[in-house]
């Protein structure tokens, strides 16, 4: 495993640097590294590392979401208001509807199978979006109208909504009944996540005010609390709806609100942690991608993905109606809300493992959605934010 980790970090950083030098997103180089090192090509990664890949990816996601919470100002979120709430579910609904309308005609599958496929690919990737939006916030682009904050908040909740839909659609495919309560899990999990994260963040703020300790010790305490929140989600799964990742971000937000001077220093510490976590995350996502399924895909699948992306952009446009955003800023939101990676790598193979007839094609579409949208969205953000957004 140590050898595998050395490959992951050295080659991941190397290819990330090479891709950035030629004007492409560094994360694309990391994804390519994972594909090359993974089981489908060179098979150089230890099976033990691949076995804990999902946990390591979640660890990286916890780091970046905690950093996001420490950088988010509640006043900015309040100023965004309605569009931030709509971004949590409207674009995903549009994309799933597009898949249900187009996939049966283009791929010859049923409407229910198309709904399962739509739920797999509808989730955006916080791992791709969050660091990009944090960079914009640091540089002051779009912050006057809270554009990065709106996208960041929406991307963090979007996954919860889509995964609940995915669970419902796969349950129907297996002949299970789906109750209204299954859909009520979405707001309940969000509200409970906010409440638990806010309460823990408030307690940590009191602790840091009364007890002097080094910032490194504070980082370890915050990370441990975040791990416990995510573990709590797994422990109460099926009993109480609860979103651990939303709780993690809310923990950071409350710390930022109650101890802003400490939050600035801690955010810098988490930025350093992200240097290693980013490489680990995207290389392991790449290793989870089976390019054999991508190679089997015909032009119809690629065309389908492009078409449903247009549905997604229409949903984002609807979210922006009635706002003060101009045409350029709305276009940027459409580009920034495009990348998919972590959720698709996590659940893309689930329908196949469940024995659903659509399992193979769903996995193929999930793989292609990562390969197409993650680099396209990241590249689009890097190339357009200085043109489409105003600097504060």
CA distance 389 to 144: 10
Mean per-residue pLDDT, 289-302: 81
- Statement: residue 51 has pLDDT above 80: yes
CA-wise closest residue to 340 among 123, 115, 81, 64: 123
CA-wise closest residue to 375 among 128, 53, 135: 128
Q: What percent of the chain has pLDDT over 70?
A: 98
> In terms of residues, how long is the chain?
392
- Statement: residue 178 has pLDDT above 70: no
CA-wise closest residue to 333 among 87, 98, 27, 119: 87
Mean per-residue pLDDT, 317-328: 92
CA distance 59 to 249: 13
- Residue 180: the pLDDT is 62
Between 338 and 347, the more confident residue is 338
Cβ partners under 8 Å of residue 45, min gap 6: 4, 7, 8, 37, 38, 39, 287
- Residue 72: the pLDDT is 82
CA distance 169 to 171: 5
Per-residue pLDDT tens digits for 371-390: 899 989 999 999 999 999 99
Least confident of 209-213, 233-237, 294-298, 323-327: 294-298
Furthest C-alpha separation in the chain: 64
pLDDT tier at 176 (50, 70, 90 boundaries)? Answer: low
SS3 88: coil
pLDDT tier at 181 (50, 70, 90 boundaries)? Answer: low
Cβ partners under 8 Å of residue 241, min gap 6: 184, 185, 186, 188, 189, 192
Per-residue pLDDT tens digits for 85-124: 899 899 999 999 999 999 999 999 999 999 999 999 998 9
Mean per-residue pLDDT, 51-77: 87
- Residue 179: the pLDDT is 62
Per-residue pLDDT tens digits for 261-281: 999 999 999 999 999 999 998
* Token output for 345: 């790598």
SS3 391: strand
Mean per-residue pLDDT, 122-134: 90
Phi-psi region of 81 (alpha: psi -120 to 50; beta: other; left: phi over 0): left
The DSSP line for 345-356 is HHHTTHHHHTT-
Per-residue pLDDT tens digits for 341-367: 878 888 888 898 888 888 888 988 988
For residue 389, the 8-state DSSP code is S
- Residue 204: the pLDDT is 95
SS3 141: strand
- Residue 220: the pLDDT is 96
pLDDT tier at 238 (50, 70, 90 boundaries)? Answer: confident
Q: Centre a 10 Å sphere on the Cβ of residue 238 and count the other Cβ atoms it contains.
A: 6
pLDDT tier at 207 (50, 70, 90 boundaries)? Answer: very high
The DSSP line for 66-79 is HHHHHH--HHHHHH
pLDDT tier at 172 (50, 70, 90 boundaries)? Answer: confident
- Statement: residue 199 has pLDDT above 70: yes
* Token output for 242: 């609860």
Whether the CB-CB separation of 317 and 334 falls below 8 Å is answered with yes
């Amino acid at each position: 495993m140590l050898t595998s980790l050395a490959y992951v970090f050295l080659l991941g950083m190397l290819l990330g640097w090479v891709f950035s030098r030629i004007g492409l997103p560094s994360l694309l180089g990391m994804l390519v590294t994972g594909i090359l090192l993974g089981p489908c090509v060179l098979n150089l990664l230890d099976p033990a590392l691949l076995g804990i890949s999902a946990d390591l990816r979640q660890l990286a996601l916890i780091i970046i979401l905690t950093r996001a919470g420490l950088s988010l100002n509640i006043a900015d979120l309040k100023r965004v208001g309605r569009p931030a709430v709509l971004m949590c579910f409207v674009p995903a609904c549009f994309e799933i509807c597009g898949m249900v309308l187009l996939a049966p005609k283009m791929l010859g599958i049923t409407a229910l199978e198309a709904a399962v496929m739509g739920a797999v690919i509808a989730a955006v990737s916080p791992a791709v979006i969050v660091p990009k939006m944090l960079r914009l916030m640091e540089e002051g682009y779009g912050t006057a109208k809270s554009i990065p904050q709106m996208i960041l908040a929406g991307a963090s909740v979007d996954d919860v909504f889509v995964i609940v839909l995915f669970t419902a659609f796969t349950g129907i495919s297996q002949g299970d009944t789906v109750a209204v309560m299954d859909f009520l899990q979405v707001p309940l999990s969000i509200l409970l996540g906010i409440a638990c994260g806010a309460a823990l963040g408030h307690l940590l703020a009191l602790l840091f005010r009364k007890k002097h300790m080094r910032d490194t010790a504070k980082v370890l305490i915050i990370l441990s609390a975040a791990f416990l929140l995510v573990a709590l989600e797994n422990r109460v799964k099926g009993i109480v709806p609860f979103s651990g990742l939303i709780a993690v971000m809310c923990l950071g937000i409350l710390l930022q609100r109650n101890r802003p001077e400490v939050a600035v220093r801690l955010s810098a510490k988490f930025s350093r942690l992200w240097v290693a976590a980013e490489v680990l995350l995207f290389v392991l996502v790449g290793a989870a991608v089976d390019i054999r399924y991508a190679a089997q895909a015909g032009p119809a699948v690629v065309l389908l993905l492009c078409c449903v992306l247009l549905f997604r952009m229409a949903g984002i446009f609807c979210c922006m109606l009635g706002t003060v955003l101009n045409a350029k800023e709305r276009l940027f939101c459409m580009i920034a809300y495009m990348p998919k990676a972590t959720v698709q790598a996590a659940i893309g193979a689930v329908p196949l493992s469940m024995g659903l007839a659509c399992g193979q094609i769903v996995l193929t579409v999930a793989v292609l959605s990562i390969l197409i949208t993650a680099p396209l969205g990241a590249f689009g953000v890097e190339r357009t934010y200085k043109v489409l957004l105003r600097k504060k």
